[in-house]
Amino acid sequence: MLMEKAPCLFIFFFCAMITICIAVDTITPNQSIDGTGTLISSGKIFELGFFSPGKSKNRYLGIWYKTIPDVIVWVANRDNPLTDSFGEFRISNNSNKLVLLNRSKVIVWSSNSPSSRAGKNPVAQLLDSGNLVLREVDSMNSEYYLWQSFDYPTNTHLPGMKLGWDLRTGLERYLTSWKSDEDPSTGDFTYRMDIHGLPQAVLVMGSSIKFRTGAWNGVRFSGIQLMTSTNGALNFTFSFNENESYYMSEPLVNSTFTTRFTLNHSGIIQRLILENKSTQWGIMYSRPYDPCDNYDYCGVNAICRINGDPICGCLEGFTPRSQQKWDVLNLSKGCRRKIPLTCEKGDGFIDLGGVKLPDLLDFRLDKNRSLKECELACLKDCSCSAYANSDIRQGGSGCLMWFGDLIDVREFKVEGSDQALYIRLSASEIKSIRAEKKKKTLKLILIASVISGLCILALVLWCIIWRLRKTKVRAQGMDDVIELPLFDMAAITVATNNFSPANILGAGGFGPVHKGKLLTGQEIAVKRLSKESRQGAKEFKNEVNLIAKLQHKNLVALLGCCIQGDEKMLIYEYMQNKSLDYFIFEHKRSSRLSWKKSFDIVMGIARGLQYLHHDSKLQIVHRDLKAGNILLDANMTPKISDFGLARIFEGDEKETTTKRVVGTYGYISPEYAVDGIFSVKSDVFSFGVLLLEIISGKQNRGFNHPNHHHSLLGHAWLLWSERKALELMDPYLKESCVESQVLRCIHVGLLCVQKYSKDRPTINSVVVMLSNEGVKLPQPKHPGFFIERSSSTVDQGSSFGNNEESPSVNGVTVTFHGR
Ligand SMILES: *[C@@H]1O[C@H](CO)[C@@H](O)[C@H](O)[C@H]1NC(C)=O
Ligand SMILES: *[C@@H]1O[C@H](CO)[C@@H](O)[C@H](O)[C@H]1NC(C)=O
Ligand SMILES: *[C@@H]1O[C@H](CO)[C@@H](O)[C@H](O)[C@H]1NC(C)=O
Ligand SMILES: *[C@@H]1O[C@H](CO)[C@@H](O)[C@H](O)[C@H]1NC(C)=O
Ligand SMILES: *[C@@H]1O[C@H](CO)[C@@H](O)[C@H](O)[C@H]1NC(C)=O
Ligand SMILES: *[C@@H]1O[C@H](CO)[C@@H](O)[C@H](O)[C@H]1NC(C)=O
Ligand SMILES: *[C@@H]1O[C@H](CO)[C@@H](O)[C@H](O)[C@H]1NC(C)=O
Ligand SMILES: *[C@@H]1O[C@H](CO)[C@@H](O)[C@H](O)[C@H]1NC(C)=O
Ligand SMILES: *[C@@H]1O[C@H](CO)[C@@H](O)[C@H](O)[C@H]1NC(C)=O
Ligand SMILES: *[C@@H]1O[C@H](CO)[C@@H](O)[C@H](O)[C@H]1NC(C)=O
């Protein structure tokens, strides 16, 4: 053996226990330190020395707390004990190791540094963190350790210790349990960082997993909530990059406790806390904690819900592999799909929010994919059974796909950072789940409506009594009074500069619309109903009463009205940006909208319509939805206007007929135009037309194509059938568009304009289909009016003599008599 320069061992000796007491600072290389007593190197907090656990006669070199009894935090020669009272602990002759020799001078333990570099002038020291280090005295960098005990933990993870991998050297730091209380030798359990795919910590016994934390999702492990500096007493660090993958925790500065994290010999990990001045360690948490923590507790394709009864259940769309076994709570077989994946078109996903993600057995990770791309990738691969975001930060990114069975899923909700899993199911399964859900909501609605019905009844009775009393006192003739501000005719005349033609914004169905400015400075739009207009007193009251009750961000707000003699006027909020037709049909680049804006407008209109059809207290059919009736405010928020033709549906009335068919060419649904039947689905038709117009930048009415005589709807349908739907898109939108979104809009548009009203979706479904990329859409059938027009009728405008359109007055409302 080489003898180099004198290495030395700086150990601060304090006389603690009996037998020997050597108070030296420096130990020469030839000085052996025998363990006939307790060798103590004592720091402020920790001590290094020899000990025998419990009744055992074996002696070990270890580290323990100086003032806290009976807690060994590290053992050197755990698998090779000294059998008598002699032990010699020193730096090796070639100065690169710490060695422990027994009486026969045989090395029973040595620090096997990964580096073969010999120290020139090494010093061994026990740090206050409990770390025994062999460091180079001359090193400029005091952190340069030839070896440190923190790299070779036993069953205890101390603050500041890293648990995990140094990927540059391949060093893995992990915990291994003791065999028993009296035997520190390597036990059955290990707790380590698994870096296969995404990192997760696993508790393993032999080769079987007992517990896992779930994969790291950028914020936390998917199945545990971390103690972080903001929500707990510990400062938790997780590092995951090309050099290292580990976690570490430390008490915050100024904390009033001591903490350690151990893996005990029954295979339980525990975070222990000792309050200052206390002598009793408390358990902060331990794992596995509840049955759901046990790996694969419920079997494959099942989910463990700790508050459930029973706590194990099959995932949605799955059923027990063996019902008999499941009934006696033998869960070992788990669950299988009710309907196997056939890998046909139409498979879909259901999302399961707030879960610990399945174990990464057979998986693929692609950090570059978005959730949407992840879904598509999963659909493409027949064996893909689920997917999720791999990182939940910033709204989620990355793609994690699972193949085959899903294992060890548990419900795990964490406020603010829930993680969703998307499970693939066959088309028919998705359908039946949806139907089931619908049934449930219907039931709920039924119960709710019975209750609210009773309430309303009580309210109505009260109202009637109240009215009866009131009318006795009040003068007659006010029965139709509208609960809206009544504007003074004079004020309106001034505001509109005596109805100056220069202030005309456009002409609605029943008269011109003037811009005005009240003395208060508020800008208004005044709809003056022409005396000869068809909108008589009936329509007027209708519109006023209707709109007065409607309040929605996507409906134009009525400020008041004005009645004087024959004059009837409606006063609306003024919309700075006029109407939508100006933006979509104008072939000037400067006035065109970006795709995002267009899409926002589409969503706004859909929401406004949703409110009319479903969400307001009344069910209202607008009957004249068209680009010209969509006004835009300063922020380009679309607002549906012109309720002159709107009809309220009462009770469970689904559709109704009228002799007077009113509406606008190009937007009227077939059943309405032909049979005078209208329903909410006629509005959906108009919405579909509008949607296709927004995308194509072309008007349905008067649409012309060199190759055929179809309307815009027919044209869209043809392109769709030829899988060239994107060609429908207005070239102006090309730069800013999101292709998948455009395709989805065209698809939804075609669903809305289907010939038969029963095929068309409700506006509620439309909103869902437009706003969720994940929703599967049915195939559209032929649109209404799918017949080629003869070339002579292409120019419909002239056939009804409505060709007095100005750019802002598109699609004049017409009235004609059906049947
Ligand atoms: C190390 O040196 C000591 C004394 O200097 C000697 O007794 C011992 O045999 C040496 N050990 C080895 C392994 O060479
Ligand atoms: C250590 O012992 C060896 C041989 O016994 C001797 O040559 C060497 O000088 C001693 N070293 C010191 C520092 O005493
Ligand atoms: C020292 O260790 C060796 C190897 O483990 C063993 O053979 C020998 O008996 C031990 N000597 C004593 C005195 O325990
Ligand atoms: C990884 O180590 C290399 C070399 O030591 C260093 O240049 C790089 O910055 C490290 N990367 C990270 C993320 O710390
Ligand atoms: C948490 O630990 C990190 C790294 O050790 C440190 O930079 C940070 O200041 C600590 N935070 C608190 C609140 O102690
Ligand atoms: C810790 O306590 C000291 C003294 O009370 C105080 O000055 C310091 O700001 C505290 N540090 C933290 C991080 O709270
Ligand atoms: C509590 O104990 C820890 C560890 O022994 C120590 O670092 C800390 O200063 C103590 N805090 C107080 C307030 O005594
Ligand atoms: C291990 O920890 C668990 C949980 O705190 C405890 O119930 C068990 O008794 C411990 N086992 C041993 C051997 O200490
Ligand atoms: C559950 O069933 C399996 C066979 O499928 C059997 O091996 C196991 O012992 C059963 N477990 C219990 C708790 O009965
Ligand atoms: C992921 O994206 C980054 C940046 O966009 C790119 O540099 C990298 O090559 C991509 N990786 C893969 C595997 O596509």
Q: Could you read off the pLDDT of 429-461 as tens digits, one per residue?
A: 888 888 888 888 888 888 888 888 888 888 888
For domain 581-800, the question of CATH label 1.10.510.10 is answered with yes
The structural domains of the chain, with segments of one domain joined by +, span: 1-151, 153-289, 294-425, 472-573, 581-800
Hey, whose CA ends up nearest to atom 2 of ligand 1? 93
pLDDT in tens, 767-787: 888 888 877 888 898 888 777
Closest-CA residue to 525 (of 553, 555, 550, 561) = 561
Which pLDDT score is estimated for 511? 72
> Do the first three CATH levels of 1-151 and 153-289 match, i.e. the same topology?
yes
Give the residues surrounding ligand 3 with Cβ less than 6 Å away.
83-84, 102-104, 106, 108
| CA distance linking residue 474 with residue 466, whole number of Å | 12
Assign domain 294-425 to a CATH class.
alpha beta
Structure confidence at residue 285 as a pLDDT band (50, 70, 90)? confident
| CA distance linking residue 232 with residue 665, whole number of Å | 66
Which pLDDT score is estimated for 121? 72
- The predicted model gives 567-583 an average pLDDT of 82
The catalytic residue among 293, 296, 581, 624 is 624
The closest ligand to the CA of 398 turns out to be 10
Cα 156 to ligand 3 centroid, rounded to whole Å: 28
Closest-CA residue to 359 (of 267, 222, 219) = 222
Q: Is the pLDDT of residue 271 over 80?
A: yes
Tell me: cis bond preceding 153? Omega within 30 of 0 counts: no
Ligand 8: residue of 260, 268, 273, 283 to mutate (most ligand atoms within 8 A of CB) is 268
Percent of the chain with pLDDT over 90: 28
pLDDT in tens, 637-659: 899 987 777 777 776 677 777 76
Report the chain's mean pLDDT, rounded to a whole number.
80
Which pLDDT score is estimated for 495? 86
Which pLDDT score is estimated for 377? 93
pLDDT in tens, 407-421: 999 999 887 778 899
The closest ligand to the CA of 320 turns out to be 9
Structure confidence at residue 7 as a pLDDT band (50, 70, 90)? very low
Place of tokens 């795709």: 595
Which pLDDT score is estimated for 145? 82
The conformational region for residue 95 under phi > 0 = left, psi -120 to 50 = alpha, else beta, is left
Q: Are strands 72-75 and 88-91 parallel, antiparallel or unpaired?
A: unpaired
- Looking at per-residue pLDDT, the higher value among 82 and 799 belongs to 82
Q: Is the pLDDT of residue 400 over 90?
A: yes
Structure confidence at residue 78 as a pLDDT band (50, 70, 90)? very high
Q: Which two tokens stand for residue 444?
A: 């709920």
In the 3-class helix/strand/coil scheme, how is 67-120 assigned residue by residue? CCCCCEEEECCCCCCECCCCCEEEECCCCCCEEEECCCCCEEEECCCCCCCCCC
Pick from 249-263, 285-299, 560-574 the range whose average pLDDT is largest: 285-299
Atom in ligand 6 nearest the alpha carbon of residue 254: 1
Structure confidence at residue 79 as a pLDDT band (50, 70, 90)? very high
The answer, as to whether pTM is greater than 0.75, is: no
Which pLDDT score is estimated for 817? 36
- The predicted model gives 226-239 an average pLDDT of 70
Tell me: cis bond preceding 807? Omega within 30 of 0 counts: no
Strand partners, 262: 156, 270
User: How far are the Cα atoms of 714, 715, 728 from residue 722, in angstroms, in the given order?
Assistant: 12, 11, 12
Q: Which residues make Cβ contacts (< 8 Å) with residue 544, sequence separation at least 6?
A: 482, 484, 558, 561, 570
- Least confident span in 247-256, 261-270, 273-282: 247-256
Percent of the chain with pLDDT over 70: 83
Question: If DSSP codes are grouped into helix, strand and coil, which group holds residue 735?
Answer: coil
Assign domain 1-151 to a CATH class.
mainly beta
Closest-CA residue to 562 (of 525, 508, 509) = 525
Closest-CA residue to 575 (of 606, 553, 597) = 553
Assign domain 153-289 to a CATH class.
mainly beta
- The predicted model gives 299-320 an average pLDDT of 92
Cβ atoms of 490 and 518 closer than 8 Å: no
- The CATH architecture of the domain made up of 472-573 is 2-Layer Sandwich (3.30)
Cα–Cα–Cα angle for 522, 526, 530, nearest 5°?
165
Q: Based on the residue annotation, tell me whether 624 is a catalytic residue of this protein.
A: yes
pLDDT in tens, 463-486: 888 777 655 444 334 345 556 677
